[in-house]
Amino acid sequence: MTEELDYAVVRRFGDFEVRRYPEFAVVECVERGDFGSAGNRAFGPLFRFISGDNSAGRSIAMTAPVLQQSSEAGEHRVAFVMPAAMDAASVPEPRSGRLRARAVAEHDMAVRRFSGSWSERRMAEQARALEDAMRREGLMPSGEVTFARFDPPWKPGFLRRNEVMIALREPVRVR
């Protein structure tokens, strides 16, 4: 079974939840262009990295989800989450100059889960729904929307798990 990024549910709302993510490490690639093709272009170098194209020459287990953030400048940051046993200091150096490893600090995120295919339009719809729900609950966003894919592209759309995630400006208290 594929290892998934660890988190604790801080609070549940009707159509989303707030999660606390501990610090974790990622290896990421930045691509320009449209949403879908940028994700596809970034996947190759990231997959080669976990397949042994790194300074240690060793394979690293694939984890879920694959994360993607898009900026208004047309850049798309695609990241593979490293296994929980690795911190940023223990991640081997990427051989590709297109990749970089970094730590993601502990943070709270509002998260909305949905199934189906992965398209820019569908992700934008889900992001708007999450932003509306956050406003309704008085939660303030901090940063860009993150899109999370949990399943391989050959899995039928209706069985796929996807999430939209938005970091929160302030931690949420447990109720």
Alpha helices in the chain (DSSP H): 35-50, 120-136
67 within some domain? yes
Give the count of domains, the chain.
2
Return the bridge partners of 100, or none.
28
How far is residue 29 from each of residues 24, 37, 117, measured CA to CA in Å? 17, 13, 22
DSSP E strand stretches across 72-160: 75-81, 99-104, 107-115, 141-149
Instruction: Determine the Cα–Cα distance for residues 23 and 107; give it in Å rounded to an integer.
Output: 8
Burial of 62 (0-12, 13-18, 19+ CB in 10 A): middle
Q: In CATH, what number is assigned to the domain containing residue 33?
A: 3.20.80.10
93 within some domain? yes
Domain check: are 56 and 127 in the same one?
no
35 within some domain? yes
Cα angle 27-33-36, degrees, rounded to a multiple of 5: 70
Q: What is the pLDDT along the chain (175 residues), one digit of tens a residue?
A: 899 999 999 999 999 999 999 999 999 999 998 888 888 899 999 999 999 999 999 999 999 999 999 887 889 999 999 999 999 999 999 999 999 999 999 999 999 999 988 788 899 999 999 999 999 999 999 988 999 999 988 899 889 999 999 999 888 877 6
Domain check: are 15 and 87 in the same one?
no
32 within some domain? yes
Domain check: are 164 and 117 in the same one?
yes
**Residue 56 carries which DSSP code?**
T
- pTM of this prediction? 0.94
Cα angle 130-65-151, degrees, rounded to a multiple of 5: 100
pLDDT given at position 81: 98
145 within some domain? no
**Residue 162 sits in which domain range?**
3-21+107-139+150-168
pLDDT given at position 117: 82
63 within some domain? yes
